[in-house]
Amino acid sequence: MRVVCAAAVVLAACSPAPPDPATLRVALWAGGHELEIEQQVAARYEALRPGTRVLLESAPNGYEERLLTSIAAGHPPDVYLLDSPDIPTFVDRGLAVDFAPYREALGFRADSVFPQVLEAFTRGDAIFALPKDFTPMVIYANRGVLEGAGVGRVAGVGAGLGGWTWDDFSRAARAVTADTDGDDRPDIFGFDFPRNLYQWVPFVWSAGGDILGPGGGNASGFMDGPEALAAYVFLTGLAEEGLTPGAQFVQQGDPAREARFASGGQAFLLSGHWTLPVFRDLVQTGALDLEILPIPHHPSQPGATSVIYASGWAVPPNAANLRRAIDLAGFLASPEAQRIRARSGLAISSRRDVAVEIAAADTTGVEDAFIALVGGARVTWGAYVRDFSLVEALAVEIMDRRLLNGEALEASAGDVARRVDEVLGR
């Protein structure tokens, strides 16, 4: 990490740091291989700061509640990982230090980060987390399934230039859906039903609509507006036509969707970069011909608008050693840490230069395809609306009630929008 000393800056971040013993605690939700990678990042920081120990405290379940409790109790971690939907909860309550005064000392340049990602963590000139990584939602396409059904490539899609409409998507999904064993039930599907708001919100945006009004203060007229209704009609229509697996997956989820996609039982999969490690070995050996496509858009729109989910490193204002905590956060977001972390393959580096390096080393072209789709994406509403999880919990009813009970989408969307207004008005 390049560090610039500035006398006017409170942070004394210049290497080498004083060798006095210190243990810095980092709260995050990583598990398995991802946690092993973060241990490597921590070990590198310890090597650069002799006498310092970094203790990673991972809580995959109940992360937000544990973190809030520890900060309120006066025993916070020194650094914590802040997820997009949790940003308002911590920032609005003053539980994250503003990094803006320390940018020069940390060598942090705003123009080195993808702008939409940085936007999620800023309020005016203040920066409440140093971006770690992110992903847009995209469509994974199994080219083997598509070509087996005679579906060619859609003009302009590979470059994210449009031409991939809902009509195109429906035709392709319809073409691949097939009963191959003669039991009158499809064995190959076009898609899997996107039940949750985090999955389907880009379809609303790609119809020219939104789920909340300007500023995020209301849902009525938006979540139940004509553009949103068009998205619900399109998505439930795919399920009702039998182009997605059965209704049992609407409420229970679909744990087999990645395996079905990889084995040739599904043509399209909606997901983020976090799913890529599941397929990477298959792609590299040629067992899976994978293509990354933008979200299809309504025919009235020139292109798609996807959603971005990001995370960043924050520091609580009551950290035991604020100077060291800020220094550690700066390293965790540094190019060196980003390069180490890129080995996990779970997300895209928030730094454009590192993301481009990783893409250049990827012979499959998948990383390039992801980066090409970042420009047509925006940050989740969860980065701005407090308790957005409550909105998500209500919104899931809209299409469920249609598919499970046959209720008109206009009725369910109107009812949910009114209840969301109540939540937002609290």
Q: Which amino acid is at 151?
A: V
Average pLDDT over residues 97-103: 97
Instruction: Provide the terminal-to-terminal Cα distance of the chain, rounded to the nearest Å.
Output: 44
CA-based nearest residue to 383, from 114, 80, 86 = 86
Alpha carbon distance 109, 121 (integer Å): 14
Per-residue pLDDT tens digits for 199-224: 999 999 999 999 999 999 999 999 99
* Predicted local confidence at residue 250, as pLDDT: 60
Percent of the chain with pLDDT over 70: 91
Average pLDDT over residues 104-123: 95
Average pLDDT over residues 228-235: 98
Please report which residue ranges of 241-334 form alpha helices under DSSP H. Answer: 248-252, 257-262, 276-285, 322-332
72 has a pLDDT exceeding 80: yes
339 has a pLDDT exceeding 80: yes
14 has a pLDDT exceeding 60: no
Find tokens 């972390």 and name the residue: 341
HEC per residue, 34-83: HHHHHHHHHHHHHHHCCCEEEEEEECCCCHHHHHHHHHHCCCCCCEEEEE
Burial class for 364, CB neighbours closer than 10 Å (0-12, 13-18, 19+): middle
Task: Give the 3-state secondary structure percentages of the chain, helix then strand then coil, rounded to 5.
Answer: 45, 15, 40
Beta-strand pair 130-136/306-314: antiparallel
Structure tokens at 218: 């209301």
* Predicted local confidence at residue 109, as pLDDT: 93
Give the mean pLDDT of the chain.
Answer: 90
Name the pLDDT band for 251 (thresholds 50, 70, 90): low
303 has a pLDDT exceeding 60: yes
Q: Which residues pair with 309 in a beta bridge?
A: 135
* Predicted local confidence at residue 343, as pLDDT: 81
Per-residue pLDDT tens digits for 348-393: 999 999 999 999 999 999 999 999 999 989 999 999 999 899 999 9
Alpha carbon distance 399, 412 (integer Å): 8
Average pLDDT over residues 401-422: 97
Name the pLDDT band for 254 (thresholds 50, 70, 90): confident
Contact yes or no for 194/306 (Cβ under 8 A): no
pTM above 0.95, yes or no: no
DSSP character string of 127-149: E-SEEEEEEE-EEEEEHHHHHHT
